[in-house]
Amino acid sequence: MRTPLVLGNWKMHGSQAFARGLAESVRARSGEFPGVRLGVCPPYVMLPIIAKALDGSSVAYGAQNVSEFAEGAYTGEISAGMLKELGCSYALVGHSERRQLFAETSDQVVQKLVAAYGAGLIPVLCVGETLAERQAEATGRVIEAQLQPLLSHPEADRLLAALIIAYEPVWAIGTGQTASPEQAQEVHGDIRRLIRARAPVAADELLILYGGSVKPGNAVELFAMPDIDGGLIGGAALKAEDFCAIAAAAAASKRS
């Protein structure tokens, strides 16, 4: 039985006051979504204020990125241990904006994943194809290539039992254009099959989130798909009302 997760990715938005207000609003309503886990990933510098706002609540929090290195002369980087110390539960790794804008490779992303796991964080590995790749019918190949360094890692069994995968088609992120439930399900099913070939037990327990323009209006039908176990929510996570409506959709779709 997989417990759905609705995880907000706030990206580089807001201020300390905004972050506190948003976290408090989500916290105030967090009891309304039975059987759903909630989490938020604010910018690094807002983590302490989020930790305070969510203290003692069921809403978890995490980071949008993490260094692959444990410590040292890496100016501007933040280690997994530092995030753990702040009470983070999650760390996103390999978000498409990191891959595209900051040239992160799939090998580096797995190093980040291993660092997050090693510090006791739950890594959320983001994968997804661009529009050109989808149009070239290369979606399956692209995602398999993004997962390959993980699948061939010597610790793959343990990592696969601990992590979460987020399928986020790049063409759907921040564009208002969502993958149809059928398109998303097809990829989620393929991802689970790929994982099953390497780690059969972990594959059934693995949460695979969908991300890319999830909104209150499309969440129910996406979450109703058998291999979609919740969402990674960008723009709609910046409004407590929308984020909570998406959480309600997760609670409703997994109940029926």
> Would you tell me which residues interact with ligand PGA (CB under 6 A)?
9, 168, 173-174, 211-214, 232-236
Q: What is the rounded CA–CA span in Å between residue 152 and residue 150?
A: 5
CB 126, min distance to ligand PGA, A = 7
Catalytic residue list contains 155:
no
Question: Which CB sits closer to ligand PGA, 156 or 237?
Answer: 237
95 is catalytic: yes
Q: How far is the CB of 10 from ligand PGA (least distance, A)?
A: 10
| Chain position whose Cβ is nearest to ligand PGA | 234
CA distance 17 to 31: 23
Q: How many residues are present in the chain?
A: 256
CA 229 – CA 100 distance, rounded (Å): 26
Question: What is the rounded distance in angstroms from the CA atom of residue 1 to the CA atom of residue 52?
Answer: 31
Q: Least distance in Å: CB of 44 to ligand PGA?
A: 16
Q: Which is nearer to ligand PGA, 10 or 33 (CB)?
A: 10
* Cβ closest to ligand PGA, residue 81 vs residue 216: 216
| Nearer to ligand PGA among residue 168 and residue 229 (C-beta) | 168
Which residues of 150-235 form beta strands (DSSP E)?
Answer: 164-167, 207-211, 230-233
34-69 as b/e: b if 16+ CB within 10 A? eebbbbbbbbbebbebbeebbeebebbbbbbbbbbe
In angstroms, give the least distance from the CB of 9 to ligand PGA.
Answer: 4
What separation in angstroms does the CA of 236 have from each of 87, 112, 174, 212, 215?
24, 26, 10, 10, 6
Among the listed residues 68, 97, 104, 168, the single catalytic one is: 168
Catalytic residue among 95, 129, 133, 188: 95
Q: Which of the residues are catalytic?
A: 95, 168
